[in-house]
Amino acid sequence: MKSDGEQRAGLLYGIGAYGMWGLVPLFWPLLKPSGAMEILAHRMVWSLAFVGIALLVLKRWGWVRELLRQPRKLGLIAVAATVITVNWGVYIWAVNSGHVVEASLGYFINPLVTIAMGVLLLKERLRPMQWAAVGTGFAAVLVLAIGYGQPPWISLTLAFSFATYGLVKKKVNIGGLESLAAETAIQFLPALGFLLWLGADGSATFGAHGAGHAALLAATGVVTAVPLVCFGAAAIRVPLSTLGLLQYLAPVFQFLLGVAYFHESMPPERWAGFALVWLALTCLTWDALRTARRTKAEAEAEAQRLAARPEARQAGPQSADELKTSPSGV
Q: What is the pLDDT of residues 288-312, one digit of tens each?
A: 778 777 877 777 777 778 877 765 5
Going by pLDDT thresholds of 50, 70 and 90, the confidence category of residue 316 is low
- Is the confidence at residue 29, as pLDDT, over 70? yes
| Mean pLDDT computed over 238-242 | 70
- Is the confidence at residue 258, as pLDDT, over 50? yes
Going by pLDDT thresholds of 50, 70 and 90, the confidence category of residue 194 is very high
The single-letter code of the amino acid at 308 is: A
Neighbours of 255 (CB within 10 A): 23
**pLDDT: which is higher, 221 or 292:** 221
- Is the confidence at residue 327, as pLDDT, over 50? no
Note the Cα 167 to chain centre separation in Å.
Answer: 11
Cα 186 to Cα 26, 65, 84, 178, 291, distances in angstroms:
28, 16, 12, 13, 39
Share of the chain above pLDDT 70, in %: 92
Q: Report the range of poorest mean pLDDT among 138-147, 189-198, 209-218.
A: 138-147
Alpha helices in the chain (DSSP H): 4-23, 36-58, 62-68, 71-96, 100-122, 128-148, 153-172, 176-201, 210-218, 220-235, 240-246, 249-256, 268-307, 310-315, 317-325
Neighbours of 288 (CB within 10 A): 19
* R_g of the chain computed on alpha carbons: 22
Q: Which residues of 74-99 are buried (b: 16+ CB within 10 A; e: fewer)?
A: eebbebbbbbbbbbbbbbbbbbbeeb
Instruction: Summarize pLDDT for 58-113 with one digit per residue, the tens.
Output: 888 888 888 888 888 899 999 989 999 999 999 999 999 999 999 999 999 888 88
Neighbours of 122 (CB within 10 A): 9
Averaged confidence pLDDT in the chain = 84
The single-letter code of the amino acid at 139 is: A
Instruction: Summarize pLDDT for 161-172 with one digit per residue, the tens.
Output: 988 888 887 788
| Mean pLDDT computed over 257-263 | 94
